Chain A
């Protein structure tokens, strides 16, 4: 049996987070009543003209800067001609020969290994409307309903080179891109609402063969899990077909999450004859150096730079730094917590954010921006662990109380709930004497050499202090008293 190599390229449509559409003044907000965000330009009434949204161009510039691409000083809009009911003009305004962003690279990580994926280009275009085949409470009499609210929403189509060699790499790329567009604030990344949609071009070839195999394009992958499943299925299907002596025909396929299979769309022999030509309604888009520089000055520190800085500045491991830079919100939260806790609490802050806070957020299906515990509150609590006011165990109680909004700060909760650690050793000694007196059997067992009995005594002592004692101190005192 031959060994096969998988070749994958990804095209992503990222909906840009502008207020208005790319060529009109209609709103882009998701979820409005059908066709109330579709004006004369969007529905293509005769005589209307498109005027390009500056905000959409700025998103493209930001993306180009973030991936180290060339931002074209002059790019051109073209008409991509095809007929579909949710495309009112009979063409989509896109860019073809002269796109706004050229080249660039994106770093991806698979476990511990890092590599880069090369980008071919990114271009601006408009989205189409939506076709609805059924909708609750409405009868379309066997027809299709058209909602043009989405028509004209700005998209950045980001195209990679055929650089990925497995479904895992493809998903790692999609995740890295998803994180980046959100980080630089050009796309909300909401995959359920279709703000971030991926197509995967998949082919296989015998290992060592220079030419690519014939590719099939899997359309509209709207979750990372589906992307992995769809590519895995497609690869197996292509290999099985070729090993059976068959050949692959270029096709567009859809993934069916129910069956886990990909199937070819009805073949449209002229589907790819889009007869592109420069749109005479739009003039060339010129972007000068000054505009690029001004945009660069407003960009946040990029994820890779932020990650390296967090590692260096706070002594975090590469792994921790990467987790904490999964999103701009998370990185910002972390640094705000450190600011409140003091730099010596940086490592503790990392652990609290990555473990306790993340677990709690996941459990309640919340984003970091919706955390009931603010970064300042968490940092304040960690400062109290550092100065010995509370133990890590008690801190969990304080954290719960903060989460449930039982107080405005860790200090307030520690006072109102009486959670200060008992550091006064005479108070602690008295408590331990009591424990020894009431647990004479355990003491006797310990004296016969049973180490287990010692642990039980520690447990009793901690219980007597309601967890407010420092366990190391309790340990030491017990040893002293028993020794």
Chain B
């Protein structure tokens, strides 16, 4: 299996990554090399092996349902000090219309 240049552009668009045509060409070559590796791995018989969801074979730890931090305007002030634009406690972003 190998990728097409259109697929590279599409994936870049989905990830909102701007790439030039020459970058896309280079990326296509690199990705196809990775696909070749995957193809090699696919030769391994995995019948009856349960797919892993995580590299470590441990279970999720859980937190108690307890509020540990909230309602702190000073924390908001700290977070918003590095935001490009804020107003009335809100982050301002380019207008989104749907």
Which residue from chain B places its CB closest to the CB of A143 in the assembled complex?
Answer: B92
Contact partner, B92, options A57, A83, A146, A286, Cβ 8 Å: A146
Binary interface encoding of chain B residues 57-70 relative to chain A, with 1 for a CB under 8 A from any of its CBs, else 0: 01111111111111
Chain B interface size, as a band, is: 35 or more
- Which of A43, A81, A270 has the largest number of chain B CB atoms within 10 A? A43
Q: Using Cβ atoms and an 8 Å threshold, which residues of chain B touch A85?
A: 91, 93, 96
- The answer to whether residues A37 and B71 also contact, given A133-B95, A283-B58, A284-B60 and a CB cut-off of 8 A, is yes
- The answer to whether residues A35 and B63 also contact, given A146-B91, A273-B14 and a CB cut-off of 8 A, is no
Chain A residues numbered 118-161 whose CB sits less than 8 Å from any CB in chain B? 131-133, 135, 137-148
A283 touches B89 (CB 8 A): no
- The answer to whether residues A39 and B75 also contact, given A27-B67, A145-B88 and a CB cut-off of 8 A, is yes
Measured between C-beta atoms, what is the minimum distance from B88 to chain A in Å? 4
A38 touches B53 (CB 8 A): no
B95 touches A55 (CB 8 A): no
Chain B residues numbered 41-98 whose CB sits less than 8 Å from any CB in chain A? 53-56, 58-73, 75-76, 79-80, 85, 87-98
Contact partner, B90, options A20, A145, A282, A283, Cβ 8 Å: A145
Q: Using Cβ atoms and an 8 Å threshold, which residues of chain B touch A56?
A: 65
A36 touches B69 (CB 8 A): no
Q: Give CA–CA (A25, B92) in the complex, Å.
A: 25
Q: Using Cβ atoms and an 8 Å threshold, which residues of chain B touch A40?
A: 79
Q: Give CA–CA (A34, B79) in the complex, Å.
A: 13
- The answer to whether residues A265 and B98 also contact, given A35-B76, A53-B63 and a CB cut-off of 8 A, is yes
Asked whether any CB of chain B lies closer than 8 Å to the CB of A98, the reply is: yes
Asked whether any CB of chain A lies closer than 8 Å to the CB of B26, the reply is: no
Which residue from chain B places its CB closest to the CB of A275 in the assembled complex?
Answer: B14
Q: Using Cβ atoms and an 8 Å threshold, which residues of chain A touch B89?
A: 33-36, 147
- The answer to whether residues A146 and B65 also contact, given A32-B71, A83-B16 and a CB cut-off of 8 A, is no
A137 touches B88 (CB 8 A): yes
Q: Using Cβ atoms and an 8 Å threshold, which residues of chain A touch B55?
A: 280
Q: Using Cβ atoms and an 8 Å threshold, which residues of chain A touch B96?
A: 84-85, 131, 133, 144
Q: A85-B96, A283-B59 are in contact. List 5 more A-B contacts (CB 8 A).
A: A53-B62, A76-B53, A138-B90, A144-B92, A145-B91
Nearest 6 CB-CB pairings of A with B: A55-B65, A25-B68, A145-B90, A34-B89, A27-B70, A54-B62
Interface of B toward A, CB cutoff 8 Å: 10, 13-16, 53-56, 58-73, 75-76, 79-80, 85, 87-98
